[in-house]
Amino acid sequence: MDASAWQMLLEGAWTTAWICAVSIVIGVTAGLLIALVRIAKIPVIDQLLVIYISIARATPLVTLALFIFLSAPTLGLGIDRNLAGILALSLNTTAFNAEIWRSAFRNFSREQTEAAMAVGMTPWVRFRRIMLPQMLITSLPGLVNEMSFLIKGSPAIAVIGVVELTRVTNRISAVTYEPLPPILAAAVIYMLVIGALVWAQRIAERQANRLAM
């Protein structure tokens, strides 16, 4: 591949990186909020969230991206391809993250909550200082695993015209008639990004274990 092909690959990798990063931040944060609402078991809202989670987890990303991109204009919403891609990825990963957070909360030690209540901690202080740090450690493997699935599933948004890494490899292959080099280069980029996530997870877990000792 020549220099222009490498530049295209890097631009596609950057598009994939920032779209996935935004979607991950939204998904982790919104997933935590949904888990907290579900734990509160508010009538009607809890049932609606269950329906959303079930649909989002069962719907393929390709279908979700197409639905958002094609239905938005009929509702009078003008969104570009990148925003539609972010919405599709965020809706998908939020549903999975909500269940990861909810599982961590359900497995949290009730004795610690009772001890915090006994010393007069407010619910917000209990959550911020005791529950959330431990829930994060417990959820970290699942959250990182979901991030990896999101990155690997991100080529699905190419169906709505987002020029991400995989779509760029197809363009390069169409011009050079050599599909293998760009595909191998894209595979290496994906492996490096996901490998960095796993490495960061292991460092965070080691640091958490040291603090717990």
pLDDT of residue 126: 76
* Statement: residue 211 has pLDDT above 70: no
Measure the CA angle with vertex 87, ends 167 and 52; round to 5°: 125
Average pLDDT, the chain: 88
Q: Any idea how long the chain is?
A: 213
Domain holding 60: CATH number? 1.10.3720.10
More confident residue, 2 or 23: 23
- With beta carbons less than 8 A apart as the criterion, state whether 140 and 204 touch: yes
pLDDT of residue 196: 92
- With beta carbons less than 8 A apart as the criterion, state whether 76 and 156 touch: no
Tell if the pTM clears 0.85, that is, is over it.
Answer: yes
Question: Quick one: average pLDDT of 51-64?
Answer: 95
- With beta carbons less than 8 A apart as the criterion, state whether 143 and 90 touch: no
Confidence of residue 204 (pLDDT cuts 50, 70, 90): confident
Task: Please give the tally of structural domains in the chain.
Answer: 1
Range scoring the smallest mean pLDDT among 97-111, 123-137, 187-201: 123-137
Q: Which pair of tokens denotes residue 189?
A: 């980029």
* Statement: residue 124 has pLDDT above 80: no
* Domain coverage including residue 133: 3-212
